[in-house]
Structure 1
Amino acid sequence: MRRSFLPVLTVVAAIILLWYAGAVWLNSAWAYDQAGRDEVELTFPALVADTWSQDRPRLPAPHQVVAELWKSTVETRITSKRSLVYHAWITLSSTLTGFALGVALGILLAVGIVHNRTMNASVMPWVIASQTIPILAIAPMIIVVLSSIGVTGLLPKALISMYLSFFPVVVGMVKGLRSPEVMQLDQMRTWNASGAQTFRKLRWPSSLPYLFASLKVAVAASLVGAIIGELPTGAVAGLGARMLSGSYYGQTVQIWSALVMAAILAACLVALIGLAERVAGRMMGARA
């Protein structure tokens, strides 16, 4: 346990120290300006105290973000539109829908690419080229087009999440389905195994480590897509909407609390996939 958590705690402590130092540096201009107007001398302890307690700082201190998180999660009813739990659930629903669609699309494309030379030559380059288009450019287009035909709400955001999440699944699954060695494939032919049997008994089990690695990347990308999908719609709910409203009114503490909430959500989703990976590994006879 010490070997596992000590490096993590060390990195977290270093990040927090740098965060506090950055808050002093970025918020000091406002503190000095206020001190100049009040014609008072600002000592270093007073400077630190001021930069860590401003209402609208350029960079809020960690304890300010934690206080806002506590206020908007524990002290606020989850049905309230001021609750981060409420906004996180809205974003999570889009994330999971888009993630499911992206995983299904990615696996289907990977199976086709591996088993069909035409798809390998034609589809794979387009899959790679699709990721060169900035998502911030294509997200408004998707939302406007779907809105013009009456499709609004969850689906447009889920499609943007799918757009970001299917790519790592395709790449990982293509690599995984091709991972069996030639000797193993020859052995399946020796046993007169059909293509479906080879896929079920050899290719699919061999691809699972690649699949789970891809899923961890895909679910984080899906969350990013859901948040981006909330920005150009003028949405009133979701973590993206929370960040957008905070930027409108200069509430940087609100923006950072939504960012931290998104990070916590992503970490939980990745941890769940890691748990599913261990369960699947044990079911297949892997050592703990």
Structure 2
Amino acid sequence: MEKEQFFRHRFLPVTTIVLALIVIWYVFAVILNAPFQRDMDTRANETPGSVEFIGRTLSQPKPVLPAPHQVAQNVFENTFMRRLSSNRSLVYHSWVTLSSTMLGFGFGTLLGIVIAVGIVHIRALDRSLMPWIIASQTVPILAIAPMVIVVLGAINITGLIPKALISTYLSFFPVAVGMVKGLRSPEVMHLDLMRTYNATAAQTFWKLRVPASVPFLFTSMKVAIAASLVGAIVGELPTGAVAGIGSKLLAGSYYSQTIDIWAALVAGSVLAALLVTIVGLVAKVVDRSMGGRAA
């Protein structure tokens, strides 16, 4: 019964949507690649049939829109058929990006928690700091990233730290907002009960506010770690990095290797999904250790 429900309510809908997206992808690949292929056939004085023409549009070496099988083949070759130290290995480039992602995520999570604690306990920070935090996220990261790279480069800080700081900029905001919500989530009745027990502010914080904020924290961390990955990739673009998913995107754009660009995007998407999944698993472990019921 459970397997049947899983198939009907989860597997079947997701599979249907994925297959529909793949079909739409193929259709647009043919449409977008057709003008170039038609021009090539005209120059070669060839008149292929409809099936052969569609096949050619889906097998171009530098298509406008790569077909799904071209992207899948590129991902497979550059993931499983390359040495991990190879510059063409997606695993190698993903590891480089992951390093700055995790460092920035750690900084952003810590900064977000500290800011949230300050906002909840200091009214002046709540009124003065929160508007600035919200305003900071309205500035495009593509405008901030080059400035961060240039300023830090002027004082000889290069490599991992600048990219991590860009990731921190994107990841601290959801953590701060989520923790503020979580620390303020205890009901007035519970706060009054702590006062009845003559609990100190520190005891109320650790025994009531912090446990109540844990679900909010992990939910915001899922958003933060995905944002941190985006920040790491964006941070690699203005540096002209030779390694990382951002460098693969740059190289692909320089040499019009659209298949490599899409393969790098797929690698980034898979990496983001894995990171969010890991955070979710940690959240379940923490929830069970705190006495929560398994979903």
TM-score, length-normalised on structure 1? 0.98
Contact 1:98 / 1:222 at 8 angstroms: preserved in 2? yes
Give the aligned partner of residue 271 of structure 1: 277
1:256 to 259, 262, 274: 262
2:204 to 188, 198, 207: 198
Give the aligned partner of residue 128 of structure 1: 134
How far has the Cα of 1:22 moved from its partner? 1.1
How far has the Cα of 1:287 moved from its partner? 1.4
1:10 to 13, 16, 24: 16
Give the aligned partner of residue 125 of structure 2: 119
| SS, match of residue 79 in structure 1 | coil
Give the Cα separation in 1 of the matches to 2:135 and 2:237.
Answer: 24
1:22 has 2:28 as partner: yes
Deviations 1:162-183 (A, max 9, x none): 0000000011111111111111
Give the Cα separation in 1 of the matches to 2:217 and 2:24.
Answer: 36
1:82 to 67, 78, 88: 88
Deviations 1:236-257 (A, max 9, x none): 0000001100100000000000
Give the Cα separation in 2 of the matches to 1:183 and 1:156.
Answer: 46
Give the aligned partner of residue 157 of structure 2: 151
Deviations 1:181-227 (A, max 9, x none): 11111011001111111111111111111111101110000000000
| SS, match of residue 46 in structure 1 | helix
The letter of the residue matching 2:174 is P
The letter of the residue matching 1:252 is T
Give the Cα separation in 1 of the matches to 2:20 and 2:117.
Answer: 44
Give the aligned partner of residue 3 of structure 2: none
Give the aligned partner of residue 185 of structure 1: 191
Deviations 1:54-74 (A, max 9, x none): 000011011101111111111
More off after superposition, 33-42 vs 147-156: 33-42
How far has the Cα of 1:46 moved from its partner? 1.6
The letter of the residue matching 2:31 is W
| SS, match of residue 138 in structure 2 | coil
1:242 to 238, 245, 248: 248
Contact 1:32 / 1:42 at 8 angstroms: preserved in 2? no
| SS, match of residue 292 in structure 2 | coil
The letter of the residue matching 2:107 is L
1:24-173 residue pairs with structure 2 within 5 A? 24-173=30-179
| SS, match of residue 47 in structure 2 | coil
Percent sequence identity is: 60
How far has the Cα of 1:47 moved from its partner? 2.2
Contact 1:31 / 1:50 at 8 angstroms: preserved in 2? yes
How far has the Cα of 1:11 moved from its partner? 1.6
What root-mean-square deviation, in Å, do the aligned CA atoms of Structure 1 and Structure 2 show? Answer: 0.9
1:229 to 212, 227, 235: 235
TM-score, length-normalised on structure 2? 0.96
The letter of the residue matching 1:262 is G
The number of residues matched between the two structures is: 288
How far has the Cα of 1:125 moved from its partner? 0.8
How far has the Cα of 1:39 moved from its partner? 2.3
How far has the Cα of 1:42 moved from its partner? 3.4
| SS, match of residue 107 in structure 1 | helix
Stretches of structure 1 lacking an aligned partner (at least 5 in a row): none
| SS, match of residue 77 in structure 1 | coil
The letter of the residue matching 2:260 is Q
The letter of the residue matching 1:224 is V
Give the Cα separation in 2 of the matches to 1:197 and 1:66.
Answer: 54
